[in-house]
A and B are shown apart, each in its own frame.
Chain A
Amino acid sequence: MGPEMYSGPDRCLLVCSRPQLISPQWGRLAAYSRCVRNGNKSQAISKPNTEFKGNPMATTHVEPQEDTSHAGQNQIINDLSIQVATVNGSGSQTANLVLLRAIFQMGIPVSGKNLFPSNIAGLPTWFTIRASKHGYIGRRRDSEYMVAMNPETAEEDVMGLKPGATCVYDERLNLKRLRQDVIFHSVPFDQLVTPVCPDSRLRKLVRNMIYDGVLAKLLGIEMEEIHKALQKQFRKKAKAAELNWNAARVGYEYADKNLVKTDPYRLERMNATQGKILIEGNAALALGSMFAGVTVVTWYPITPSSTVCETLTDYMKRYRVDKETGKATFAIVQAEDELAALGMALGAGWAGARSMTATAGPGISLMAEFTGFGYYVEIPAVIFDIQRVGPSTGLPTRTAQGDILSTALLSHGDTMHPMYLPSSMTECFTMAIDAFDLAEELQTPVFVMSDLDLGMNTWMSAPFPYPTRPISRGKVLSAEDVRRLGGFERYKDVDGDGVGYRTLPGTPDRLCGWFARGSGHNEKAIYSERPDVYVNNVDRLAHKFETARLKVPGPVIADSQKLEVGIVAYGTSHWAVEESLDQLRREQDIDAGYCRLRAFPFTREVHDFINRYQRVYVVDQNRDGQMLGLLRLDCSAGQIAKLRSVRHYDGLPIDAHSVTDAIVSQEAAN
């Protein structure tokens, strides 16, 4: 890498300040003080709890627990995971989202993760809801509550519970016999659903709502919030809302009369979600794209990316139809395959549209040739990659950061592509907008690397900020410009940043036309196979990538006092790492620094971070440490020697303990 990579503005200053570093603690303190204000003084005191242990192979994790005088027993408030095991296609998604939303409406930080099969109906699916007063929204390995509805998986589900957990189950499954150390609550779902849902065809879809009512009673979820959440879920379908509401009520009443609560977990109203939204990453990307001013959208359905363009279509039809003419200010086309989807996006980008496509790993593979074409011809387009486990068949509905390396270097010949690495809903929104600007400023395909966890799960977020920067269309010359200049050379590096000036097809002057073709062209876009012309061209493209290094967002850095152990992570791993940092500090006395990557190419701050730490753990959700690999390509030998790897690749979202365990064991061997 040339020295110019270090010459950019220090973009990181704004995000490296101390409040960033200690925000989790501040958040927790704030939550505690709110509880105190709410009148439950006992919650402010905490003591270690060694009762529950996770994986016996793992380090002992000490969970915070609060004493309370309430009902004379220990209570744990607003800190639990609920896992619901159902069969997909049975209406469970509605019941789960209503539960999630009701908890959210009670002001409790909450997250939901849907673990679903590649199937429409009949296969097992699990939904995990985590409520955390600390604001932790990453996945947890264990759940305190299980709702067992699926006969096929029920036994295994119960056997996997940690001792002391609570299991609500369908009476027919007769699970009580399986374990002594789990609290069981049997519920006769069939018996309860019949009177509230006379139409036998609908029963299958409605019966899951009963567990919402049961859990509401057992955990203290306010039924009024369940009702509100149902109204929101069904909007205009009043009849369906009523049916479901009756089912929830019957569940609540059954629990009230028949179940005796013995577990310590409770949900209580707090005030940590006010003004927040619930959204999925794919919808956030769609909104970002709409506000970025996207005009041409070409795509091919593939899980987990399809809802990016489907949601976008809904929003565009509502908000992007010209009021004066009734005509669309956009074109959305479902292409015949991913090759065509990117071909269309590049054709549109060449002709001046803000164009995009969205896909997943197999689509990325198919787009390889066109991506190289876009890179060499220098055409803007934005590609959203909602990553998943590979390959085309296998685990298409499971999450992974599986395309990092292949996307960064996608295609043949010498190619490198900028990638944004969103971690949150807000970043999905803002990075989508930034990606369109960057693609046009650099005249190149730009990737936004989400994943299934971020894209398809429901996340809590602050409302998105309206863009303050005007749309940036990059270096485009008008006919007047070209006439004034007496002509233009498409691929000449006039400004020293590796980016030439372009004209758009249709620009009305005979001096404006140019012919786009691969790498075999000179600065005037005229065919040439001369060795010196080729070298000049690809060297300029490499220089352009250094310009990208100065334009992409730098990392978010939170330094530790000791500058010994550093963690580098990106994307959805952030939520596990944020929690792991607290675990490491609290349980292992390891004070680690944190560098959250937000883009590739890596900016100077990433190198500086590695320089100032002794050991740097790179967290990847893939088997081969793909980001680690990219860092190795970009780092000096001295920096490489410091890099270590934390990898999680079982198809489930990464959890904090996985990060903590991996670091602790490697530190012990140090």
Chain B
Amino acid sequence: MATTTVPSSPSSKTNRVGLEMAHYKGNKSTLCAGCGHNAISERIIEACFEMGVEPHRVAKLSGIGCSSKSPAYFLNTAYGVNAVHGRMPSVATGALLANRHLIAIGVSGDGDTASIGIGQFVHLMRRNLPVIYIIEDNGCYGLTKGQFSATADIGSKLKTGVVNDLPPIDTCALAIQLGATYVARSFSGDKRQLSALIKGALAHNGTAMLDVISPCVTFNDHEGSTKSYSYVKDHDEPVADVSFIPFFEDISVDYDPGTTTSITLHDGSQLLLRKLTADYDPTNKGAALQMLTESHDKGEVVTGLFYVAPKQPNFIDLLNVMDDPLATLPESKVRPPKEVLDQVMESLM
């Protein structure tokens, strides 16, 4: 039996940076009552509170759509950008280039990511930028009243009776294949799993891509939809049971290495993955892609942490930029002295 620490629900009212849960709240949501996105905002609030994230270090970023409104509904005192449709990845990239110490939480939707934003999405994944990228995935365009998106499954039916006949884009398979280093799928209704996965993402140093099935109660929660609450509940097949142990908690727990895999993340936090039905190794890229293909063919909505590579260098590391934020470097660091100009001019004479 191996020994490690275990997560505990914080008993005190303040977290490790001395803030209360109220400090992590956002504005009142204007989304529909029962929208899965609101549950995701709640999990982000809890995760940031429990992890002791300093809100001023957080950059909340989004594109356009119902999903992209949600950054206004958590972490009110953080900084945020509600960018243009499908282009949040580039804004996030620029922000992190300017200040590598920001904690970037991007929230997108399935239309914002898999259709108009697919170009920027794939390049974000490829760069392994240190960003948490959450897709609030309901298989439809809510804000324009329920058209199919590119993550809708074949055979899924709209309220109007229209049936989708094109295959879905699996954003998780895409992200794994392209180089994202923390890839998971979850369900807005699975509080425990989603919470652990978001905390794991906060502890990860690289692109953490979370596709969260988040039913649209207004346009895509009916009989015949494969993104409804009841459909996802009935077909949810977790690959493993996930627990998160933050680096700063000091409680021991026993686990069986035969049934449980422990993953140490960048900041020293741990993810414990307890085997459920079959063996699953989340550090094996090929196996992850095969599992996603097979489970899709079986009609399962497989959830959990699919792939993780905690030690890959991220994009900012590769650029060899200074540790101090580029944004606030003093003039002495960014304007070369007159001798340099003289030298360049001399070379051009």
> Which residues does A use to contact B, with CB under 8 Å?
275-279, 287, 290-296, 298, 315, 319-320, 322, 325-333, 335-337, 339-355, 369-370, 373, 377, 463-464, 466-467, 470-471, 503-518, 527
Q: Do the beta carbons of A351 and B102 come within 8 Å of each other?
A: yes
Extra contacts, 20 of them, besides A351-B94, A513-B78, A515-B80 (Cβ < 8 A), are A293-B335, A298-B94, A328-B320, A329-B334, A332-B319, A339-B120, A341-B90, A344-B94, A347-B81, A347-B94, A348-B95, A351-B325, A466-B341, A504-B99, A505-B79, A506-B327, A508-B54, A511-B77, A513-B80, A514-B80
Contacts of A348 in B (CB 8 A): 94-95, 97-98, 326-327
Q: How far is the CB of B123 from chain A (nearest CB, A)?
A: 4
Q: Taking A322-B322, A344-B93, A516-B82 as contacts, is the C-beta distance between A293 and B77 under 8 angstroms?
A: no
Could you tell me which residues of chain B, from 36 to 79, have a CB within 8 Å of some CB in chain A? 54-57, 59-61, 71-72, 76-79
- Most B CB atoms within 10 A — which of A294, A327, A335, A506? A506
Neighbour of B84 across the interface among A292, A370, A504, A513, CB < 8 A: A370
Neighbour of B56 across the interface among A287, A319, A341, A506, CB < 8 A: A506
B interface, size bucket: 35 or more
Q: Do the beta carbons of A325 and B345 come within 8 Å of each other?
A: no
Contacts of A287 in B (CB 8 A): 341, 344
Q: Do the beta carbons of A350 and B55 come within 8 Å of each other?
A: no
Q: Taking A506-B325, A513-B79 as contacts, is the C-beta distance between A343 and B99 under 8 angstroms?
A: no
Q: How far is the CB of B342 from chain A (nearest CB, A)?
A: 8
Q: How far is the CB of B320 from chain A (nearest CB, A)?
A: 5
Identity of the chain B residue whose Cβ is nearest the Cβ of A341 in the assembled complex = B90
Q: Do the beta carbons of A518 and B82 come within 8 Å of each other?
A: yes
Neighbour of B59 across the interface among A275, A342, A505, CB < 8 A: A505
Contacts of B323 in A (CB 8 A): 325, 327
Neighbour of B91 across the interface among A330, A332, A343, A504, CB < 8 A: A343
Q: Do the beta carbons of A352 and B325 come within 8 Å of each other?
A: yes
When chains A and B are docked, how far (Å) is the Cα of A339 from the Cα of B93?
A: 13
When chains A and B are docked, how far (Å) is the Cα of A168 from the Cα of B326?
A: 55
Q: B88-120 toward A: CB 8 Å interface, digit per residue (1/0)?
A: 011111111111011000000000000000011
Q: Do the beta carbons of B97 and A296 come within 8 Å of each other?
A: yes
Identity of the chain A residue whose Cβ is nearest the Cβ of B335 in the assembled complex = A293
Q: Taking A278-B348, A319-B340, A517-B82 as contacts, is the C-beta distance between A509 and B56 under 8 angstroms?
A: yes
When chains A and B are docked, how far (Å) is the Cα of A287 from the Cα of B338?
A: 12
- Most B CB atoms within 10 A — which of A277, A278, A332, A513? A513
Contacts of B61 in A (CB 8 A): 347
Identity of the chain A residue whose Cβ is nearest the Cβ of B334 in the assembled complex = A293
Q: Do the beta carbons of A344 and B97 come within 8 Å of each other?
A: yes
Q: Do the beta carbons of B81 and A377 come within 8 Å of each other?
A: yes
Task: Please list the 4 inter-chain residue pairs (A to B) with the smallest Cβ-Cβ separation, ordered nearest first.
Answer: A347-B94, A343-B90, A352-B327, A293-B334
Q: How far is the CB of B68 from chain A (nearest CB, A)?
A: 10
Neighbour of B336 across the interface among A320, A337, A354, CB < 8 A: A320
Contacts of A471 in B (CB 8 A): 331, 334-335
Identity of the chain B residue whose Cβ is nearest the Cβ of A340 in the assembled complex = B90
Q: Do the beta carbons of B91 and A355 come within 8 Å of each other?
A: no
Neighbour of B321 across the interface among A331, A467, A510, CB < 8 A: A331
Q: Do the beta carbons of A339 and B79 come within 8 Å of each other?
A: no
Q: How far is the CB of B345 from chain A (nearest CB, A)?
A: 4
The number of inter-chain residue pairs (CB within 8 angstroms) is 227
> Which residues does B use to contact A, with CB under 8 Å?
23, 27, 54-57, 59-61, 71-72, 76-84, 87, 89-99, 101-102, 119-120, 123, 316, 319-323, 325-329, 331, 333-336, 338, 340-341, 344-345, 348-349
Contacts of B97 in A (CB 8 A): 296, 298, 331, 333, 344, 347-348, 351, 353
Q: How far is the CB of A521 from chain B (nearest CB, A)?
A: 10
Q: Do the beta carbons of B94 and A355 come within 8 Å of each other?
A: yes
Contacts of B56 in A (CB 8 A): 506-510, 512-513
Q: Do the beta carbons of A353 and B331 come within 8 Å of each other?
A: no
Q: List 17 A-B contacts (CB under 8 A).
A: A290-B336, A298-B94, A328-B321, A329-B333, A336-B123, A339-B90, A340-B89, A340-B93, A344-B97, A347-B90, A347-B91, A349-B94, A352-B98, A354-B334, A505-B99, A510-B23, A516-B80
Q: Do the beta carbons of A330 and B327 come within 8 Å of each other?
A: no
- Most A CB atoms within 10 A — which of B27, B55, B327? B327
Q: Taking A343-B90, A527-B72 as contacts, is the C-beta distance between A506 and B326 under 8 angstroms?
A: no
Neighbour of B95 across the interface among A294, A503, A505, CB < 8 A: A505
Q: Do the beta carbons of B334 and A320 come within 8 Å of each other?
A: yes
Neighbour of A344 across the interface among B71, B90, B340, B349, CB < 8 A: B90
Q: Do the beta carbons of B329 and A295 come within 8 Å of each other?
A: yes
Q: Do the beta carbons of A373 and B83 come within 8 Å of each other?
A: yes
Q: Do the beta carbons of B341 and A328 come within 8 Å of each other?
A: no
Neighbour of B82 across the interface among A279, A322, A351, A515, CB < 8 A: A515
When chains A and B are docked, how far (Å) is the Cα of A410 from the Cα of B345?
A: 36
When chains A and B are docked, how far (Å) is the Cα of A614 from the Cα of B23?
A: 67
Contacts of B120 in A (CB 8 A): 336, 339-340, 343
Q: Taking A277-B348, A337-B119 as contacts, is the C-beta distance between A464 and B98 under 8 angstroms?
A: no
When chains A and B are docked, how far (Å) is the Cα of A641 from the Cα of B132?
A: 59
When chains A and B are docked, how far (Å) is the Cα of A373 from the Cα of B61?
A: 14
Q: Do the beta carbons of B331 and A505 come within 8 Å of each other?
A: no
Identity of the chain A residue whose Cβ is nearest the Cβ of B62 in the assembled complex = A517
Q: Do the beta carbons of B93 and A333 come within 8 Å of each other?
A: yes
Q: Do the beta carbons of A339 and B87 come within 8 Å of each other?
A: yes
Q: Do the beta carbons of B91 and A346 come within 8 Å of each other?
A: yes
When chains A and B are docked, how far (Å) is the Cα of A278 from the Cα of B102?
A: 43
Contacts of A510 in B (CB 8 A): 23, 55-56, 77
Q: Do the beta carbons of B321 and A327 come within 8 Å of each other?
A: yes
Contacts of A278 in B (CB 8 A): 348-349
Contacts of A344 in B (CB 8 A): 90-91, 93-94, 97
Identity of the chain B residue whose Cβ is nearest the Cβ of A507 in the assembled complex = B56
Contacts of A527 in B (CB 8 A): 27, 72
When chains A and B are docked, how far (Å) is the Cα of A508 from the Cα of B17?
A: 13
When chains A and B are docked, how far (Å) is the Cα of A615 from the Cα of B318?
A: 59
Q: How far is the CB of A264 from chain B (nearest CB, A)?
A: 31
When chains A and B are docked, how far (Å) is the Cα of A294 from the Cα of B321?
A: 14
Contacts of A319 in B (CB 8 A): 336, 340
Q: How far is the CB of A44 from chain B (nearest CB, A)?
A: 29
Q: Do the beta carbons of B82 and A276 come within 8 Å of each other?
A: no
When chains A and B are docked, how far (Å) is the Cα of A344 from the Cα of B81?
A: 13
When chains A and B are docked, how far (Å) is the Cα of A320 from the Cα of B319?
A: 13
Neighbour of A467 across the interface among B322, B328, B335, B344, CB < 8 A: B335
Contacts of B93 in A (CB 8 A): 298, 333, 340, 343-344, 347
Q: How far is the CB of A275 from chain B (nearest CB, A)?
A: 7
Contacts of B328 in A (CB 8 A): 352, 504
When chains A and B are docked, how far (Å) is the Cα of A633 from the Cα of B72?
A: 39
When chains A and B are docked, how far (Å) is the Cα of A509 from the Cα of B338?
A: 37
Q: How far is the CB of B333 from chain A (nearest CB, A)?
A: 5
